[in-house]
Chains A and B, each alone.
Chain A
Amino acid sequence: MRDIIVQVVARMMIPYLQLYGLYIILFGHNSPGGGFAGGTVIASSLILYVLAFGIDDEDLRLSGSVARVIESCGALAYVGIGLAGIFLGANFLSNKGAGFPLGIPGRFLSGGTIVLLTISIGLKVASTMITLFTNLAEKEKEEE
């Protein structure tokens, strides 16, 4: 799939896809979306890059070790926020009972721990999809 039209269109679309996915993740608590949908859209932009430019091109591809680090950071951040609830005096993963500031509904910074949990879910889902794709795709053969 190394057509010139696919490559030009993919080169134009990938930044907008990533911006859209980032919007879905960050505004997941005020409009439809959330961590799972936004993570999948960001992963689809990187999958489009691999499909259009081949798997041997290492420019924008997320390598295996970087994806592993991002995924572990996502999971550890989720558990860390839950443990912060215990250290502040309430149950595991508690939002209002532990004293996080709730803010005004409708603003970006509202909801206490909800924004941080959504970002960690988005990171983890995106890196999982990328790792699944790059491990199941074949290597390009040498002759064309």
Chain B
Amino acid sequence: MDNLFYAMAFIIFLTGFWIMLSHANLIKKIIGMNIMESAIFLFLVAIGYVKDGNAPIIAETNPGITYVNPLPSALILTGIVVSVSVTAFALGLVVRLYQHYGTVDVDEITRMRSEEL
């Protein structure tokens, strides 16, 4: 049971996926997408851990220190910014949908759009 971090990351991913599938409210779907992305970031950062390693800030104390792998942490910063941007843009689209249709329920909106055509 030493792969506990990977298993927890996948449990959080499945929770986010279930939230996206089961609710009909659009804002709850967006929250589920955000939870899925956080689980993916946890998984990718936990790959780079070294047992008994320090943070990768070189302070010139003694030359025999083991450091954690710095490369996954540096590449996930980019992913976090993309996640925030996608969530913000999706929320803007939901606000616009609410102003036009008057509801944030996906089944109601589909029914209204099929009656319009």
Contacts and interface: CB of A to CB of B under 8 A. Distances in A.
Interface of A: 30-32, 34, 36, 125, 132, 135-136
Interface string B55-95: 10100000000000000000001001100000010011001
Contacts, number: 15
Contacts of A36: 77, 80-81
Contacts of B77: 34, 36
A34 to B, nearest CB: 8
Contacts of B55: 32
A132 B88 contact: yes
- DSSP class of B's interface residues: helix, strand, loop or mixed? helix
Contacts of B92: 135-136
Contacts of B81: 36, 125
Contacts of A125: 81
B75 to A, nearest CB: 13
Contact of B57 (A31, A132, A136): A31
A30 B60 CA distance: 12
A136 B95 contact: yes
Nearest to B56: A32
Q: Which of B77, B88, B95 has the most CB of A within 10 A?
A: B88
Contacts of B57: 30-32
Contacts of A30: 57
14 contacts: A30-B57, A31-B57, A32-B55, A32-B57, A34-B77, A36-B77, A36-B80, A36-B81, A125-B81, A132-B88, A135-B92, A136-B88, A136-B91, A136-B92
A36 B75 CA distance: 13
Contacts of A32: 55, 57
Contacts of B88: 132, 136
A125 B88 CA distance: 13
Nearest to A40: B84
A36 B92 CA distance: 22
A77 B116 CA distance: 49
B68 to A, nearest CB: 12
A-B complex: 10 closest residue pairs judged by Cβ atoms:
A132-B88, A36-B77, A136-B91, A36-B81, A136-B95, A136-B92, A32-B55, A31-B57, A32-B57, A36-B80
A121 B91 CA distance: 24
Nearest to A135: B92
A126 to B, nearest CB: 13
